[in-house]
């Protein structure tokens, strides 16, 4: 077993533990409220995260909440990822190495749009029965399509649509405060399990690089957001830091992958 495999297995275990802790903490938090006890005993997960599902600064502002700022920053990072894509083409990097960069541009843009929509609708009251509507189903499928396409790059667009529709169907029934946990858990499970299922000959140093630099940090930042929200993060942007971590990890992956590839091709030419 190589380091990349170990990293991906740890990502899966971490994602499942995170989902379980959030679920149990929410039940515990709501039990305290139900018993009219003011003190929330479990300090592992911030109460703001349990109530809102994210760490949200300025939650009543349409334009300056963490959701809105995530959208602005995600669009900016999509541009940087696009610049990496152009640079990769210029340096003739193989498509397999460029996949995490190329396919995450659309996925991250969809992530940003989703944040803006969540931020917008959370400033107006939405009754539960209105959650299952044609527009919600369509945007959820579009949101998941970007991620599913990025993870299962070898499948056809029909298979991407089928998988996205299936995940979106369950997403509709997930309470809003568990939405972030649902998205993170599904994404990390699918991405790591798909990477683990690659053939042995496809698991090169770039596979390990992606596992360690792109997959692992997402799960760690999830914990940091949940643990430090009430004390630190909510004063400095909240969930924005989580959104920054994903493209920054991909850009770091790209810089290292490009350096390794160029060094190798130069060695082969000698």
Q: Which residues bind to Zn ion, rule: CB under 5 A? A: 243
- CB atoms inside a 10 Å sphere around CB 161: 15
Q: Compare residues 70 and 93 and give the one whose CB is closer to Zn ion.
A: 70
Q: Compare residues 4 and 238 and give the one whose CB is closer to Zn ion.
A: 238
| Least gap, CB of 66 to Zn ion (angstroms) | 9
Q: Compare residues 230 and 243 and give the one whose CB is closer to Zn ion.
A: 243
Measure Cα distances from 136 to 62, 108, 130, 140, 200 in Å. Answer: 19, 19, 9, 6, 40
| Least gap, CB of 115 to Zn ion (angstroms) | 6
Q: Compare residues 84 and 246 and give the one whose CB is closer to Zn ion.
A: 246
Residue nearest to Zn ion (CB): 243
| Least gap, CB of 137 to Zn ion (angstroms) | 21
Q: Compare residues 195 and 243 and give the one whose CB is closer to Zn ion.
A: 243
| Least gap, CB of 148 to Zn ion (angstroms) | 17
| Least gap, CB of 94 to Zn ion (angstroms) | 30
């Amino acid at each position: 077993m190589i380091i990349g495999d170990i990293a991906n297995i740890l990502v899966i275990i971490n994602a499942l533990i995170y989902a379980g802790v959030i679920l149990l903490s929410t039940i515990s938090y709501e039990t305290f409220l139900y018993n009219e006890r003011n003190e929330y005993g479990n300090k592992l997960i911030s109460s703001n995260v349990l109530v809102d599902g994210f760490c949200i600064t300025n939650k009543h502002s349409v334009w300056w909440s963490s959701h809105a700022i995530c959208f602005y920053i995600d669009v900016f990072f999509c541009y940087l990822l696009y610049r990496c894509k152009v640079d990769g083409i210029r340096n003739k990097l193989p498509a397999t190495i460029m996949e995490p960069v190329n396919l995450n541009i659309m996925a991250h843009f969809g992530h940003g749009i989703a944040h803006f929509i969540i931020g917008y609708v959370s400033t107006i009251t939405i009754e539960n029965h209105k959650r299952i509507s044609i527009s919600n189903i369509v945007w959820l499928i579009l949101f998941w399509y970007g991620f599913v396409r990025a993870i299962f790059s070898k499948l056809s667009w029909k298979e991407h649509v089928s998988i996205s529709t299936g995940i979106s169907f369950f997403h509709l029934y997930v309470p809003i405060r568990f939405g972030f946990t649902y998205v993170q858990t599904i994404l990390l499970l699918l991405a790591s399990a798909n990477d683990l299922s690659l053939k042995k000959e496809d698991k090169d140093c770039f596979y390990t690089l992606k596992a360690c630099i792109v997959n692992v940090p997402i799960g760690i930042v999830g914990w940091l957001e949940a643990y430090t929200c009430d004390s630190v993060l909510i004063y400095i942007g909240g969930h924005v830091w989580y959104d920054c971590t994903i493209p920054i990890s991909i850009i770091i992956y790209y810089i290292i992958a490009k350096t390794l590839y160029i060094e190798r091709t130069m060695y082969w030419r000698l």
